[in-house]
A and B are shown apart, each in its own frame.
Chain A
Amino acid sequence: MNTKQILSAMKIVSWIIFIGLCIKAGAIIISFCITLFVNAEGASDLYLGLDLSTLYETNKRYFINLTSFIITIDLLKAYLFYLVVKIFTKMNLNKPFSNSLASLITKISYVSFSMGLIAIIASAYNKWLMHKGMTSQLNWESSSYLFMAGIIFIIAVHFKRGIELQTENELTI
């Protein structure tokens, strides 16, 4: 398998993940709206067994807050993969370093950092609710997002240097 084939495969996988995450975020938003406005039973299975019925019954405001965190992170995840798909679309191996790719990579690191921060806040909020006995511990993965943000930011900085070197190379006659 050569690089081109691997990149094509990764592009398809990214599309699938992006669509999957959009469906997940959409499903949670719809379940959330149904729970709030149509049927409170929806809270017992928001998405693939995510049960927040106890929280909903105890305090509606807490339920809205926690679900908003989940939805925000899922939307950001989908946006992150949208950016990844965009990278694969714009990638050109003959001229690998471009400003548009650099800005996309930087954007991914910022999105990941935002996700990490939101996940930290959400995790703390989740713990606080857990102490009150309203909900169980959910997996927020805040440290992974922050780690990813750090690594991608370093790559973005190196990428920018790559653009400078490529420009220099192009302007060498």
Chain B
Amino acid sequence: MAIVVNLDVMMAKRKMSLNELSEKVGLTLSNLSILKTGKAKAIRFSTLELICKVLECQPGDLLEYQVDE
């Protein structure tokens, strides 16, 4: 996939577990897992805003564009 979600990298940097993030953001563990594993087809701005707020980062820290080979 061309857009890579670096949620696990940011979580590791902030030393935050998936459970903790799930509680703080208000998303279910399964939805966060879908996002983390790159299975998600889209992300709402509201979700992105919440994650950025909790992880104290920018959307660019979470999302990365990679050229498909």
Contacts and interface: CB of A to CB of B under 8 A. Distances in A.
B39 A171 contact: yes
A171 B43 CA distance: 8
Nearest to B31: A173
Nearest to A168: B41
Interface residues of B, number: 12
Interface string B27-69: 1000110110001111110010000000000000000000000
Nearest to B41: A171
B32 to A, nearest CB: 8
Size category of the A interface is under 10
A171 B47 CA distance: 13
B54 to A, nearest CB: 14
Contacts of B31: 173
Nearest to A171: B41
Contacts of B42: 168, 171-173
Contacts of B47: 173
Interface in B8-42: 27, 31-32, 34-35, 39-42
Contacts of B35: 173
Given A172-B41, A173-B34, A173-B43, 12 more contacts: A168-B41, A168-B42, A171-B39, A171-B40, A171-B41, A171-B42, A172-B44, A173-B27, A173-B31, A173-B32, A173-B42, A173-B44
16 contacts: A167-B41, A168-B41, A171-B39, A171-B40, A171-B41, A171-B42, A172-B40, A172-B42, A172-B43, A172-B44, A173-B27, A173-B31, A173-B32, A173-B35, A173-B40, A173-B42
3 closest A-B pairs by beta carbon, nearest first, are: A171-B41, A172-B42, A173-B35
